[in-house]
């Protein structure tokens, strides 16, 4: 049959099947502001300016780093989509904004089917938790770049905040610092975690620890907590002057950013 698109590494049938899956699932996150459906050239969102006096749009773009490697070894992909939404929505939320819509970029060597559906299912769940619409994205088949097994994901989030509620506000000596607990290691530090725990022995991820009640891999794959609703309420009630999303660099590296 000669050279075909499929033989060159792009499976259009699998891509179309995945788009149909995304279309069906993403509708669970839609509000009346979303216009149209997944699959158009752009995601459409009717921003209701009448609800704000002086709205500011806040955007974020982020990924989940080498946490993906743990998911690959464990063959468990249903939580990193939640991580992806969390990393972006949390960045938007520390500006005082409410996330309103989200898009993803999924780059794979080849579409497996089950793997991509698990990732998308996580994104949909993350958007449901954050109360933002999953309005579009891109799935790219890049076999020469990623080989048959590797992949990467990135997310893009837009939120909105009234200018007078925009964070950070000026802080002064004597203001209190409050740390909101995490539910695990979230999505940062995985290069160090890999060096310490499993770089030389991947089976370490399947070992159960008494203090965890689960395997190390399962613990590491716990999805990043989405703080959006909590931060929105704190800011709405003027209970905070600023907030920092504690990611790479920890508390010292992120508090100085505000």
pLDDT at residue number 250: 72
The separation between CA 58 and the C-alpha centre of its own chain, rounded to angstroms, equals: 16
214 in any annotated domain: yes
Domain of 81 in residue numbering reads as 12-169+178-247
φ and ψ of 179, to 5 deg: -100, 125
Judging by beta carbons within 10 Å of its beta carbon (0-12, 13-18, 19+), is residue 152 exposed, middle or buried?
A: middle
Say yes or no to pLDDT of 54 above 90: yes
Q: How many domains does the chain have?
A: 1
Assign residue 184 the CATH number of its domain: 3.30.1330.10
Say yes or no to pLDDT of 252 above 70: no
Q: 187 pLDDT band (50/70/90 cuts)?
A: very high
The answer for residues whose C-beta is within 8 angstroms of residue 208's C-beta and 6 or more apart is 214, 215
145 in any annotated domain: yes
1 in any annotated domain: no
Q: 248 pLDDT band (50/70/90 cuts)?
A: confident
The separation between CA 131 and the C-alpha centre of its own chain, rounded to angstroms, equals: 13
pLDDT at residue number 1: 59
257 in any annotated domain: no
Judging by beta carbons within 10 Å of its beta carbon (0-12, 13-18, 19+), is residue 162 exposed, middle or buried?
A: middle
252 in any annotated domain: no
Greater model confidence, 246 or 63: 63
Greater model confidence, 251 or 230: 230
Can the peptide bond before residue 168 be classed as cis, meaning omega within 30 degrees of 0? yes
Assigned token pair, 71: 């998911």
pLDDT at residue number 7: 76
In this prediction, residues 87-99 reach a mean pLDDT of 97
112 in any annotated domain: yes
Mean pLDDT of the chain: 93
142 in any annotated domain: yes
Q: 8 pLDDT band (50/70/90 cuts)?
A: confident
68 in any annotated domain: yes
Q: Render pLDDT for 119-160 as a digit per residue (tens, 0 to 9).
A: 999 999 999 999 999 999 999 999 999 999 999 999 999 999
In this prediction, residues 99-127 reach a mean pLDDT of 98
Share of the chain above pLDDT 70, in %: 98
Say yes or no to pLDDT of 253 above 90: no
């Amino acid at each position: 049959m000669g050279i075909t698109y499929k033989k060159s590494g792009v499976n259009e049938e699998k891509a179309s099947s995945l788009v149909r899956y995304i279309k069906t699932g993403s509708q669970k996150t839609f509000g009346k502001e979303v216009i149209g459906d997944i699959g158009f050239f752009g995601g459409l969102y009717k921003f209701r300016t009448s609800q704000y006096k002086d709205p500011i749009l806040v955007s974020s773009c982020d990924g989940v780093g080498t946490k993906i490697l743990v998911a690959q070894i464990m063959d468990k992909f249903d939580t990193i989509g939640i991580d992806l939404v969390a990393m972006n929505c949390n960045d938007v939320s520390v500006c005082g904004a409410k996330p309103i819509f989200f898009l993803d970029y999924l780059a794979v060597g080849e579409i497996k089917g089950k793997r991509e559906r698990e990732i998308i299912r996580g994104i949909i769940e993350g958007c449901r938790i954050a109360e933002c619409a999953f309005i579009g994205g891109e799935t790219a088949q890049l076999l020469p770049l990623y080989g048959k097994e590797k992949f990467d994901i990135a997310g893009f989030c837009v939120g909105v905040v009234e200018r007078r509620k925009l964070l950070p506000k000026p802080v002064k000596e004597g203001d209190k610092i409050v740390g909101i607990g995490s539910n695990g290691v979230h999505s940062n530090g995985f290069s160090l975690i890999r060096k310490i725990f499993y770089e030389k022995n991947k089976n370490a991820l399947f070992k159960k620890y008494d203090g965890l009640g689960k395997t190390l891999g399962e613990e590491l794959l716990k999805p990043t907590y989405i703080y959006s609703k909590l931060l929105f309420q704190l800011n709405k009630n003027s209970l905070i002057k600023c907030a920092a999303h504690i990611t790479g660099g920890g508390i010292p590296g992120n508090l100085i950013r505000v």
